[in-house]
């Protein structure tokens, strides 16, 4: 009986002590927690982006980002240890530093994604430049521009989830579908259109296949001849 | 004319009327007829130089009244000096002279109680207006309340109220406990018992004191708080704790009993006043109203109070009334007051207020002498006693009607009825017994005979009354001489058996005061001449005569012991011849001779011879003490006590002069003693011893040889009786066992109870060693004291059951010391014939112990040792009886007591053993220390090992079935019990502390949790860390929040 009572009382003494200590450090814990919330946000983005982008960017491309992530994790782990043991309850500075490193890693990852995403978008933009005046393209110019803008936005920021990545991929596919009618242009036509866009087209470029393609589908209205 | 013999001239029924013992007030006519003028009333203020007569005093009072002077007279005197008598006489005379001018109130001692006094006042104050009637109604209510049966309870309740309302005791013990002490039902019954203090006071207030009782009102005395052991036990165990505490203290401290009695006496007035619902102010108001009323009527008030103690409780108010004058602005409407009060010396010195003493106008006393030797001034001579007696004898001879007529005719002393005048035996009677002139000094003589007394007989009886219980006062003379003799022995005059033997004559004379013949050698002659009337004649000679049978004169004038033949004839006895010529009185013992020379060969016997012869023939032994000493010394030295197995200590105790009585002595033998019957053989033995002690070796060989034969024969005949007496507790009681055995058992048990035995004391020798060691202390230079015993009892209370301590208390230290001292004495034996070298008879003691062990210490019960046995037997028997009656129960109680301790320890420890418990205790103390939690716990009383050992010891003792082994273990186990108490106390305090700290911590935790979510915040923070680390793919965390697992 007495042993249980004494043991129980001792536990209460320890708990009360912990509570008192915690109360006196609540401010420190609060700033630590605030900083942690920021770091958590960064960590979430970093972790998610790294995970989503890992396969697209390839191992070699993603490795430097992962290395940075490990460093961030190690710092966070050290901070936790100090906090948990009570040696330092105010970890905001350390965590802020760690947060910057996490942001840097995230930025690095974003740049790497941007390279990848731009590479994916570039052919479509080139094609769009050739056909943008064609009547069949001009009819859905607004949707195409909006789609391109959305894709550009996703290029600037790495996807945080598979859904975002799928959305990115879907938008690229949609853009391709919309340019599909011109996407299969014969080479002579493609060359003619290139010269037209660059203001270098001559009558010589109006070859029969080109004339035939122009006359199809009321496309001739899209062209005019002017002096140099 | 008939002969003057066996004549009774007094009327038997008049004895009780004239000297009325039952009701102090006697018929006024008888009172006046027996009044003896007081001529020695001393005026205290006059420095003792002025004596007043009663007439002077009466004149003073009358002149005061005529001169409109306030008089407050106090008549002081020891009880029985005649204060009441004087005041009653003053009342009679004053009322005759001044009755028309004053309202005269006599407050008599009649019933001598507050109740009776109040009723007198009510009866006499039946005058006046409304205010006075209201006051009288209040008095009546007080009188009625005093009749209530609840008087005793009410007195106690009001005493209790007084303890906090009136005065708190300066003694803390009394102050703290007195209220519940007076409330305790057992104590209340004790204080209210018949004859107890509350009963005495209540009886005094309602019925008055006994007529013969001397002194003032009854009060508490220290002995009222002598509480018996049984009562004390009841109060302690059944009563209020405070009552028990005070009762225990009273039991131990005589000083505290004195203090308590004094304290309650100081509260008594207050309590009585509240009880009767009548205060001193009420009484004062009543008299003030009466004085106003009388003032309006143009009268004065004369108040004559026989005994102020009858006003107990409101007496201080009465004194204030009497001292209040009718002069001065505030009192102008009061009538003049003349007051005379009777008070005892003790009352005046202890209760009369100092500030009132100066207001006494006449301070008078009837005492003569001083201090303890005070006596009534009235009876300073044989003649004065005869004078007073003659007046009462005269009244007893007269018809009541004649006395009444005389009184109604003016009560003139010279006309007082005197039956002697018409008595045919007047001449021989007055000649033989004497007469006294009780007439007024300036008138014709009124000669009254003293028959059946004479002047010497009255004086002899009066002066021989027991002065330790009876003061020499007129009251004593009347009650214990005249009344007692006439009522008890008066009828014997006619029967021819007066006077009785000297020892029977007066109950008030103790044996030690009985007169003896002035010439003891005349005893034998008186006995021989007196024949069957010898004892009556001796009484006559001793009291009426001069204590001798010296004869003088011839024929009708021949007087024996100065008594004329008519004295003998009057009582129907023949006058003895007496003895003529020079009688040689025995010489007093010679002074011790510094250089004694051999005595010459005896020729004329010894100084004891006549005495022994007188005793042999039926008389007393006047040299009793010496002869008894010779006899006892002979018995002690002549018997071979060792041969009879009688220890030396027993002989010392039993063979003492006081334990032997020789038949036929005047004193009443009490206590345990051997009576050696009167016989010729014993007379010869005494004679032999007288010769041997007087002449020793100077005796002739043939005389010496004869004496040796006499002594030897007597010793053989009486030896067995004497030895039996020595070995028995008392003459009547056979010895239940030998004294040595009883003392040995007592001492062994005392050592058990005193925790003196060791657990390994298993042999008889071990036990005897312990017994002797304890006993030796009592015969050392520093024997144990009562305080040591009280400490032992206190220690026993701490380490044993209540039964154990109670038994020690019942045994009492004095008896324990007596047993131990006596055991050594009993075992102390002379070495051979040496009187110096002694040894301890261990064999006897070891034998006793071995036999006791053989029956596993079973004590057989013995009959109670009688009260009158020797102190040794009484102490030994008393202790043994207690042990025999209680030992088995005691061992059972003690086992239960230790079981209780074990149970308590078990309850505290639960399932855990000593190691776990003490480990938890240590850890707890460390935690308290680490966390800076203050507490007042010392270190534990011991380690786990100690706890384990004591549990084992107590458990084994509890389970021990053998009486002897258990008793030894209990005696030796005191320290384990103490340790158990220490552990229980410590662990209980620890539990209390832990519970208290736990509760505090609970509150702190709740408060902290309510005030802040710090803990949750911390937990959330850690969760965040973990979430981040998880996201970042870090390994699982080992570090937990800062905490130490208990």
Helix (H) or strand (E) holding B830: strand B828-830
Contacts of A44 in chain B (CB under 8 A): 1031
For residue B477, is it within any domain?
yes
Antiparallel, parallel or unpaired: β B102-107 and B71-76: unpaired
d(CA B823, CA B771): 9
Q: Which of chain B's residues have a Cβ under 8 Å away from the Cβ of A34? A: none
Note whether B910 contacts A15, CB cutoff 8 Å.
no
Could you tell me if residue B1000 is inside a domain? no
Long-range contact pairs involving B865-869 (C-beta distance under 8 Å, separation at least 24):
B865/B729, B865/B730, B865/B733, B865/B736, B866/B672, B866/B729, B866/B730, B866/B732, B866/B733, B868/B670, B868/B671, B868/B672, B868/B730, B869/B672, B869/B729, B869/B730, B869/B733
Clarify whether residues B837 and B932 are in a common domain: no
C-beta separation of B389 from B477 below 8 A: yes
Highest averaged pLDDT of the listed ranges A130-134, B28-32, B132-136, B143-147 = B28-32
pLDDT band at A37 (very low <50, low <70, confident <90, very high): very high
CB-based burial label for B662 (10 Å; 0-12, 13-18, 19+): buried
User: Same structural domain for residues B750 and B865?
Assistant: yes
* Rounded percentage of chain B residues whose pLDDT exceeds 70: 86
Which residue of chain A has the CA closest to B927? A10
Q: Are residues B711 and B643 in the same domain?
A: yes
Residues B747, B866, single domain; the answer is yes
To the nearest whole angstrom, how far is the Cα of A131 from the nearest Cα of chain B? 46
- Asked if B729 contacts B808 with a C-beta cutoff of 8 angstroms, the reply is no
Residues of A in contact with B923 (CB under 8 A): 6-7, 10
Of A3, A26, A80, the CB nearest to B1025: A80
A-B contacts (CB, under 8 Å): 170
The angle at the Cα of B993, spanning B989 to B994, to the nearest 5 degrees, equals 120
CB contacts of A86 in chain B (<8 Å) are 1041-1042
CB atoms within 10 A of CB B530: 19
* Partner-chain contact A13 B908, CB within 8 Å: no
pLDDT grade for B568, boundaries at 50, 70 and 90: very high
Confidence (pLDDT) at A70:
92
Last residue of a domain, one of B883, B907, B940: B883
Q: Measure the CA–CA gap between B1025 and B1030, rounded to whole angstroms.
A: 8
Closest CB to A77 among B1021, B1022, B1034: B1034
Distance CA B248, CA B229 (A): 10
**Contact partners, residue B829, CB within 8 Å, separation at least 6:** B642, B647, B648, B838, B839, B840, B841
For residue B438, is pLDDT > 70? yes
Interchain proximity B1024–A33, CB inside 8 Å: yes
pLDDT at B845 over 60: yes
φ, ψ of residue B825 to 5 degrees: the values are -65, -40
- Same domain, yes or no: B411 and B357: no
CA neighbor of B485 nearest in space, from B427, B412, B543: B543
Which DSSP string do the residues of B329-391 spell out, in sequence order?
A: STTTTSPPEEEEEEE-HHHHHHTS-HHHHTT-SEEEE-EES-GGG-EETT--SHHHHHHHHHH
A220's tokens? 């001739």
Residue B1010 lies in a domain: no
Summarised one tens digit per residue, pLDDT across range B636-650 is 888 888 777 677 777
- ∠ Cα B294 B112 B458 (to 5°): 120
The residue-averaged pLDDT of B787-795 equals 91
A chain contacts of residue B998, beta-carbon cutoff 8 Å: 5, 8-9, 12
Q: What is the predicted pLDDT for the residue at A181?
A: 65
Q: Is residue B592 in some structural domain?
A: no
Whether B2 shows a pLDDT value over 50: the answer reads: yes
Query: Among partner residues A12, A25, A39, which is closest to B998 by beta-carbon distance?
Result: A12
DSSP A135-180: HHHHTTHHHHHHHHHHHHHHHHS--SSHHHHHHHHHHHHHHHHHTH
Question: How far does Cα B678 stand from its chain's mean position?
Answer: 36
CB contact under 8 A, B1017 and A19: no
Mutation test of the interface with chain A: which of B917, B1032, B1039, B1046, choosing the one with the most A Cβ atoms within 10 A? B1032
How far is CA B707 from its chain centroid? Answer: 48
pLDDT one-digit tens code per residue, B18-58: 887 654 557 788 888 888 877 778 888 765 567 888 888 88
CA distance A80 to A85: 8
A90 chain-B contacts, CB cut-off 8 A: none
| Domain assignment of residue B1029, yes or no | no
Q: Last residue of a domain, which of B275, B307, B324? A: B275
Give the per-residue pLDDT at A8.
Answer: 93
Q: What is the mean pLDDT of residues A163-181?
A: 86
Q: What is the pLDDT of residues B82-103, one digit of tens each?
A: 888 888 888 888 888 888 888 8
Report CA dihedral (B355, B361, B365, B370) to the nearest 10 degrees: 50
Q: Are residues B532 and B651 in the same domain?
A: no
Q: Which of B883, B908, B933 is the last residue of a domain?
A: B883
Cβ contact B1001–A7 (<8 Å): no
B342 and B226, same structural domain?
Answer: no
Tell me the residue range of the domain where B364 lies: 46-127+279-372
Question: In this structure, are B151 and B265 located in the same domain?
Answer: yes
Q: Given B994, B1014, B1020, which is nearest A6 (Cβ)? A: B994
Predicted pLDDT at B974: 85
Question: For position B1035, what pLDDT does the model report?
Answer: 67
Neighbours of B992 (CB within 10 A): 11
* Terminal-to-terminal C-alpha distance of chain A: 109
B980 and B942 in contact (C-beta within 8 Å)? no
Specify the range with the lowest mean pLDDT, choosing from B280-284, B395-399, B475-479, B896-900.
B280-284
Q: Is the pLDDT of residue B170 over 90?
A: no
Mean pLDDT to the nearest integer, B184-195: 87
Q: What's the pLDDT at B601?
A: 39
Quick one: pLDDT at residue B133? 61
Of B998, B1011, B1034, the CB nearest to A8: B998
Number of folded domains that form chain B: 7
Reported as a pLDDT band with limits 50, 70 and 90, residue B209 is: low
Q: Which of B919, B998, B1028 sits opposite A40 (nearest CB)?
A: B1028
**Is the model's pLDDT at B434 over the cut of 70?**
yes
Rounded mean pLDDT, B198-214: 67
Q: What are phi and psi of B305, to 5 degrees?
A: -120, 120
- For B293, the token pair is 């009323």
Contact A36 B1025 (CB under 8 A): yes
For residue B802 the two structure tokens come to 């209540």
CA distance A55 to A45: 16
H/E stretch holding B560: strand B559-560
Q: Which of A11, A19, A47 sits opposite B1008 (nearest CB)?
A: A19
Residues B460, B361 share a domain? no
B1015 in a structural domain: no
Residue B66 parent element (H or E): helix B54-66
In this structure, which long-range contacts are made by residues A146-152, counting pairs with CB atoms below 8 Å and at least 24 apart in sequence? A147/A171, A147/A174, A147/A175, A147/A178, A148/A121, A148/A124, A148/A175, A151/A117, A151/A121, A151/A175, A152/A121
Q: Are residues B716 and B784 in the same domain?
A: no
Binary contact (B1032, A6; C-beta < 8 A): no
Residue B62 in contact with residue B340, Cβ under 8 Å? no
Residues B569 and B488 in one domain: no
Residue B68 sits in a domain whose CATH number is 3.40.50.300
Using alpha carbons, list the distances in angstroms from residue B831 to B112, B638, B726: 70, 19, 22
Please answer yes or no on whether B1028 and A20 come within 8 Å at the CB atom: no
- Top pLDDT among B300 and B868 is at B300
Q: Residues of B with CB below 8 A from A70's CB?
A: 1032-1033
Mean pLDDT of chain B: 82
Q: Find, among B804, B738, B803, B743, the residue nearest to B774 by Cα.
A: B743
Instruction: Please report the ipTM that was assigned to this predicted complex.
Output: 0.80
B574 and B631 in a common domain = no
**CA-angle at B261, arms to B230 and B785, nearest 5°:** 55
Q: Tell me how far apart the alpha carbons of residues A32 and A44 are, in angstroms, rounded to a whole number.
A: 18
Using an 8 Å Cβ cutoff, are B366 and B82 in contact?
yes
Phi, psi of B106 (to 5 degrees): -105, 115
Task: Establish if B961 belongs to a structural domain.
Answer: yes
Q: What is the pLDDT of residue B92?
A: 84
Q: Which residues of B touch A13 (CB under 8 A)?
A: 927-928, 931, 933, 997, 1001
- B300-305, strands of its sheet edge to edge: B51-52, B41-43, B362-365, B71-76, B337-343, B300-305, B102-107
Residue B733 domain flag: no
């Amino acid at each position: 009986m007495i042993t249980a009572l004494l043991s129980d009382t001792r536990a209460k003494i320890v708990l009360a002590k912990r509570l008192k200590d915690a109360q006196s450090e609540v401010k420190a814990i609060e700033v630590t927690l605030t900083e942690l919330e920021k770091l958590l946000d960064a960590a979430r983005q970093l972790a998610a982006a790294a995970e989503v982008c890992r396969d697209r960017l390839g191992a070699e491309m993603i490795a430097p980002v992962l290395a940075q992530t490990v460093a961030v994790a190690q710092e966070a782990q050290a901070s936790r240890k100090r906090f948990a043991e009570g040696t330092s309850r105010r970890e905001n500075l350390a965590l802020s530093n760690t947060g910057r490193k996490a942001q840097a890693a995230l930025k690095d990852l974003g740049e790497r994604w941007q390279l990848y995403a731009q590479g994916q978008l570039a052919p479509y933009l080139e094609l769009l430049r050739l056909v943008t005046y064609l009547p069949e393209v001009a009819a859905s110019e607004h949707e195409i521009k909006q789609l391109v803008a959305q894709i550009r936005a996703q290029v600037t920021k790495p996807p945080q989830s598979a859904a975002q990545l799928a959305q990115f991929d879907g938008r690229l596919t949609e853009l391709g579908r919309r340019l599909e009618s011109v996407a299969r242009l014969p080479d002579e036509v493609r060359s003619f259109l290139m010269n037209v866009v660059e203001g270098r087209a001559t009558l010589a470029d109006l070859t029969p296949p080109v004339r035939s393609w122009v006359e199809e589908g009321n496309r001739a209205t899209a062209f005019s001849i002017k002096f140099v | 004319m008939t002969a003057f013999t066996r004549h009774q001239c007094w009327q038997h029924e008049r004895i009780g009327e004239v000297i009325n013992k039952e009701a102090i007030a006697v018929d006024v006519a008888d009172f006046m007829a027996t009044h003896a003028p007081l001529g020695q009333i001393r005026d205290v203020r006059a420095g003792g130089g002025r004596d007043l007569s009663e007439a002077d005093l009466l004149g003073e009072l009358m002149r005061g009244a005529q001169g409109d002077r306030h008089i407050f007279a106090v008549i002081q005197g020891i009880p029985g000096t005649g204060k009441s008598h004087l005041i009653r006489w003053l009342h009679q005379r004053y009322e005759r002279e001044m009755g028309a001018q004053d309202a005269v109130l006599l407050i008599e001692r009649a019933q001598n109680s507050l109740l009776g006094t109040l009723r007198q006042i009510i009866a006499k104050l039946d005058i006046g207006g409304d205010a006075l009637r209201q006051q009288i109604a209040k008095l009546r209510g007080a009188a009625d309340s005093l009749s209530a049966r609840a008087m005793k309870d009410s007195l106690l309740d009001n005493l209790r109220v007084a303890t906090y309302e009136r005065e708190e005791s300066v003694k803390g013990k009394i102050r703290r406990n007195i209220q519940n002490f007076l409330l305790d039902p057992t104590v209340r019954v004790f204080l209210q018992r018949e004859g107890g203090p509350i009963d005495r006071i209540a009886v005094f207030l309602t019925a008055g004191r006994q007529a013969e009782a001397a002194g003032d009102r009854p009060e508490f005395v220290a002995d009222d708080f002598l509480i018996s052991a049984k009562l004390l036990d009841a109060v302690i165990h059944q009563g209020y704790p405070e009552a028990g505490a005070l009762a225990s203290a009273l039991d131990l401290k005589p000083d505290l009993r004195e203090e308590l009695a004094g304290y309650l006496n100081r509260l008594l007035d207050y309590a009585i006043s509240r009880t009767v619902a009548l205060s001193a102010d009420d009484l004062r108001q009543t008299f003030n109203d009466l004085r106003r009323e009388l003032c309006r009527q143009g009268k004065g008030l004369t108040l004559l109070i026989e005994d102020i103690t009858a006003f107990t409780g409101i007496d201080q108010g009465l004194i204030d009334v009497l001292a209040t004058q009718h002069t001065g602005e505030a009192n102008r409407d009061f009538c003049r007051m003349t007051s005379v009060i009777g008070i005892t010396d003790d009352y005046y010195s202890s209760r009369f207020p100092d500030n009132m003493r100066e207001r006494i106008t006449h301070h008078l006393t009837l005492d003569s002498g001083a201090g303890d030797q005070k006596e009534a001034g009235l009876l300073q001579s044989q003649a004065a006693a005869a004078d007073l007696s003659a007046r009462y004898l005269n009244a007893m001879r007269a018809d009541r009607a004649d006395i009444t007529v005389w009184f109604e005719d003016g009560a003139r002393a010279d006309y007082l009825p005197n039956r002697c005048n018409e008595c045919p035996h007047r001449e021989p009677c007055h000649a033989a017994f004497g007469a006294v002139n009780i007439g007024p000094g300036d008138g014709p003589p009124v000669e009254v005979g003293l028959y059946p007394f004479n002047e010497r007989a009255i004086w002899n009886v009066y002066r021989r009354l027991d002065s330790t219980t009876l003061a020499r006062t007129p009251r004593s003379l009347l009650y214990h001489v005249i009344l007692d003799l006439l009522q008890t022995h008066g009828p014997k005059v006619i029967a021819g058996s007066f006077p009785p033997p000297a020892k029977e004559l007066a109950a008030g004379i103790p044996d030690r005061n009985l007169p003896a013949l002035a010439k003891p050698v005349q005893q034998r002659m008186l006995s021989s001449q007196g024949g069957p009337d010898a004892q009556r004649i001796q009484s006559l000679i001793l009291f009426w005569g001069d204590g001798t049978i010296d004869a003088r004169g011839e024929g009708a004038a021949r007087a024996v012991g100065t008594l004329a033949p008519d004295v003998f004839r009057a009582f129907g006895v023949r006058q003895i011849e007496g003895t003529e010529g020079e009688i040689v009185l025995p010489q007093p013992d010679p002074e011790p001779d510094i250089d004694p020379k051999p005595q010459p060969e005896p020729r004329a016997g010894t100084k004891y011879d006549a005495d022994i012869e007188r005793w042999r023939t039926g008389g007393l032994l006047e040299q009793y003490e010496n002869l008894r000493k010779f006899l006892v010394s002979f018995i002690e030295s002549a018997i071979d006590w060792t041969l009879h197995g009688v220890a030396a200590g027993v002989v010392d105790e039993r063979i003492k002069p006081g334990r032997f009585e020789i038949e036929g002595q005047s004193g009443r033998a009490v206590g345990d003693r051997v009576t050696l019957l009167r016989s010729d053989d014993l007379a010869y033995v005494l004679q032999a011893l007288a010769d041997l002690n007087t002449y020793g070796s100077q005796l002739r060989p043939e005389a010496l040889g004869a004496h040796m034969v006499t002594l030897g024969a007597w010793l053989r005949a009486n030896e067995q009786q004497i030895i039996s007496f020595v070995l028995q507790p008392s003459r009547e009681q056979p010895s239940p066992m030998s004294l040595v055995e009883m003392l040995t058992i007592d001492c062994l048990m005392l050592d058990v109870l005193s925790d003196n035995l060791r657990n390994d004391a298993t042999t008889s020798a071990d036990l005897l060693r312990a017994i002797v060691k304890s006993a030796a202390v009592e015969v050392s230079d520093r024997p144990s004291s009562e305080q040591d015993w009280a400490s032992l009892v206190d220690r026993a209370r701490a380490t044993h059951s209540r039964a154990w301590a109670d038994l020690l208390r019942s045994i009492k230290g004095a008896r324990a010391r007596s047993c131990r001292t006596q055991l050594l004495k009993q075992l102390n034996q002379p070495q051979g014939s040496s009187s110096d070298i002694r040894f301890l008879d261990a064999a006897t003691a070891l034998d006793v112990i071995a036999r006791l062990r053989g029956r596993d210490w079973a004590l057989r019960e013995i009959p109670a040792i009688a009260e009158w046995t020797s102190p040794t037997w009484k102490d030994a028997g008393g202790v043994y009886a207690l042990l025999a009656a209680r030992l088995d129960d005691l061992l059972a109680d003690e086992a239960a007591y230790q079981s209780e301790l074990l149970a308590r320890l078990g309850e505290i420890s639960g399932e855990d053993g000593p190691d776990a418990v003490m480990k938890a205790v240590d850890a707890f103390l460390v935690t308290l220390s680490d966390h800076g939690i203050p507490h007042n716990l010392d270190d534990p009383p011991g380690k786990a090992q100690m706890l384990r050992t004591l549990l084992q010891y107590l458990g084994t003792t509890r389970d021990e079935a053998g009486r002897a082994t258990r008793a030894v273990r209990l005696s030796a186990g005191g320290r384990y019990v103490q340790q158990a108490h220490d552990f229980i106390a410590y662990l209980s305090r620890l539990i209390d502390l832990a519970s208290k700290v736990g509760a505090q911590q609970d509150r702190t935790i709740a408060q902290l949790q309510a005030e802040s979510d710090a803990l949750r915040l911390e937990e959330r923070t850690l969760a965040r860390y973990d979430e981040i680390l998880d996201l970042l793919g870090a390994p699982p965390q080992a570090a937990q929040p800062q905490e130490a697992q208990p």
